[in-house]
Amino acid sequence: MYQREPTQSTTTATIGHFIGGKVIHRSGRTLPIEDPATGSTIRVAELADSDTVDEAVNFAQKAFSEWRATTPLKRARVMFKFKQLLEENADEICKLITEEHGKTLEDARGELQRGIEVVEYACGIPELLKGEHTPSVGTNIDSWSQFQPLGVSAGITPFNFPAMVPMWMYPIAIACGNAFVLKPSELDPSASMFCATLLRDAGLPDGVFNIVNGDRETVDALLANPIVQSISFVGSTPVAEHVYVTGTKNGKRVQALGGAKNHAIVMPDADMDQAANATLGAAYGSCGERCMAISVVVCVGEETASEFISNIQQGLNNLTVDSGFSSDSDMGPLISDRHLERVRDYIELGVDEGAELVVDGRNLVVSGHEKGHFLGPCLFDRVNPSMRIYQDEIFGPVLCVVRAHTQEEAMAIVDEHPYGNGTCIFTRDGEAARFFAENIKVGMVGINVPLPVPAAVHSFGGWKRSLFGDLYAYGPDAVKFYTRRKTITERWPSGGVREQARFSFPS
């Protein structure tokens, strides 16, 4: 079993930054980190100013010059070792996730597993960087393309997947030969800080992977730093748009994944038990704080709606809300008191807007955790697309049911929503499912699969205001994002044939 050196613990009271292969501390602003299940402060995070960001970027730039020259095979070996260390230390990583985020330990394990799958993909980097070669594009002329790293890449990540979303970025960026600076969410940075020590212990040279903790000031310093070549962002849409506009204006390559309002369509022929069970997990798992959470269900037909709602109500009777560390818990707390207030405001707004609050979780008290940020599951029926509870991303355990008459009407509702991250259809009809998959204006589509998060060998991204940029996260798109193509055309004259000067375009 792998043991961390005690002196290198990153879970002490004050969380600094990981720069040049070690944890460093800098004076300046700090932010308390809470356990959302108790509301008590468990750590304090330092917030990097622009000097600390520049320090990390400079370390990364220095490390890049040697790292880019290592063979892809050597980089893959670091990733293989990293994967092994992640598995050996999974319990500790998941404990940090649950402590700071609040999700259940089982959910944390699922998140880590999906992150590890991206590391496994990065282990195949020699194959992924093989390039393209064409012999004899002209007489005695060969041509090939190779994919070179960009330099220093930066990643900015949200609170809701503190281990997985950063792993969508840095394993592939690093395997491609880049150096990386991560700015994790200021609400739950410890899992990434711990993973940084594992990467170092896996043999990654100091300075290739760095972490600066902080908030918007830190992000703005990364966006302004001229050495940073690319930015990968995941978070809410307004911030994604800001990062995309500012980053591209500053000449950087940017992919910015934003928020979501994911719809499921339940057709009259669906297996109702399966549809309701799948929706329960997809809507309320992780307290609805997933970018792929189902937050709207469009039921086709009045009978479908009544049956579906009654199934969901029954399911909610058996759902246990408790600390993520409780083995009975299906759903933990929301991330913060501020967010809890925001979600509660939306529930009040929904009632004012005229939606029917069929299940009201506002009075829930979790015994022993009275100061935790808990909210019981909520279910709205007869939601109308003109309502704000329909339009806005609530990011909590609140499911809205909209009623439609036909599949076409249901699909038009989905298409008109400004977000286009994920969607799903529940049906037994292959023709309806195929029509849905072919025509719906959403980036990730499930057929009887409520959370169609693409496997690591594909790429993750939404349409419309859920993604700014051209390339998706992880998978083949990430290899493209973290490299730039260079095409070489080569001629070795043979047979003593001398070229005469030619003034027409080469053909």
Q: Does 156 interact with ligand NAD (rule: CB under 6 A)?
A: yes
Nearest approach, Cβ of residue 392 and ligand NAD (Å): 10
Nearest approach, Cβ of residue 423 and ligand NAD (Å): 13
Is-contact 223 217, C-beta < 8 A?
Answer: no
Stretch 348-367: interaction string toward ligand NAD, x if CB under 6 A: --------------------
- When binding is defined by CB under 6 A, the residue of 34, 46, 99, 393 that contacts ligand NAD is 393
Q: Does 216 interact with ligand NAD (rule: CB under 6 A)?
A: yes
CB nearer ligand NAD, residue 157 or residue 423: 157
Q: Which of 291, 299, 378, 400 is catalytic?
A: 291
Nearest approach, Cβ of residue 241 and ligand NAD (Å): 10
Nearest approach, Cβ of residue 464 and ligand NAD (Å): 11
Nearest approach, Cβ of residue 184 and ligand NAD (Å): 7
Number of residues that bind ligand NAD (CB under 6 A): 28
Q: Does 446 interact with ligand NAD (rule: CB under 6 A)?
A: no
The two beta strands, 228-234 and 422-426, are unpaired
Tokens at 500, concatenated? 């005469």
Q: Does 291 interact with ligand NAD (rule: CB under 6 A)?
A: yes
Determine whether 291 is an active site residue.
yes
Number of residues written out for the chain: 507
Angstrom distance (rounded) from CA 490 to CA 507: 14
Stretch 164-203: interaction string toward ligand NAD, x if CB under 6 A: -x-----------------x-xx-----------------
CB nearer ligand NAD, residue 381 or residue 393: 393
Tokens at 27, concatenated? 């004076």
Helix (H, G, I), strand (E, B) or coil at 16: coil
Question: What secondary structure does DSSP assign to 246-276, as a single string?
Answer: HHHHTT-EEEEE----EEEEE-TTS-HHHHH
Helix (H, G, I), strand (E, B) or coil at 285: helix
Nearest approach, Cβ of residue 277 and ligand NAD (Å): 23
- When binding is defined by CB under 6 A, the residue of 67, 147, 395, 472 that contacts ligand NAD is 395
| Edge-to-edge order in the sheet of strand 179-183 | 22-24, 17-19, 209-211, 179-183, 152-156, 228-234, 253-257, 467-468
Helix (H, G, I), strand (E, B) or coil at 427: coil
Is-contact 203 78, C-beta < 8 A?
Answer: yes
The stretch near ligand NAD (CB under 6 A) out of 6-14, 66-74, 214-222, 480-488 is 214-222
- When binding is defined by CB under 6 A, the residue of 18, 121, 159, 170 that contacts ligand NAD is 159
Is-contact 246 169, C-beta < 8 A?
Answer: no
CB nearer ligand NAD, residue 259 or residue 361: 259
Alpha-carbon dihedral sign for residues 23, 171, 454, 116: negative
Determine how many CB atoms are found less than 10 A away from the CB of residue 203: 14
Query: Shortest CA distance to 108 belongs to which of 131, 75, 86, 125?
Result: 86
Is-contact 154 231, C-beta < 8 A?
Answer: yes
Nearest approach, Cβ of residue 55 and ligand NAD (Å): 19
CB nearer ligand NAD, residue 67 or residue 460: 460
Nearest approach, Cβ of residue 292 and ligand NAD (Å): 8
Question: What secondary structure does DSSP assign to 355-420, as a single string?
Answer: -EEEE--TT---TT-TTS-----EEEES--TTSHHHHS---SSEEEEEEESSHHHHHHHHHHSSEE
Stretch 89-118: interaction string toward ligand NAD, x if CB under 6 A: ------------------------------
CB nearer ligand NAD, residue 59 or residue 468: 468
Angstrom distance (rounded) from CA 151 to CA 228: 7
Angstrom distance (rounded) from CA 152 to CA 56: 10
Stretch 232-261: interaction string toward ligand NAD, x if CB under 6 A: --xxx--x--x--------------xxxx-
- When binding is defined by CB under 6 A, the residue of 160, 190, 311, 323 that contacts ligand NAD is 160
- Residues with a catalytic annotation lie at 291
**Interface residue list for ligand NAD (CB under 6 A):** 156-161, 165, 183, 185-186, 215-216, 219, 234-236, 239, 242, 257-260, 291, 393, 395, 421, 462, 466
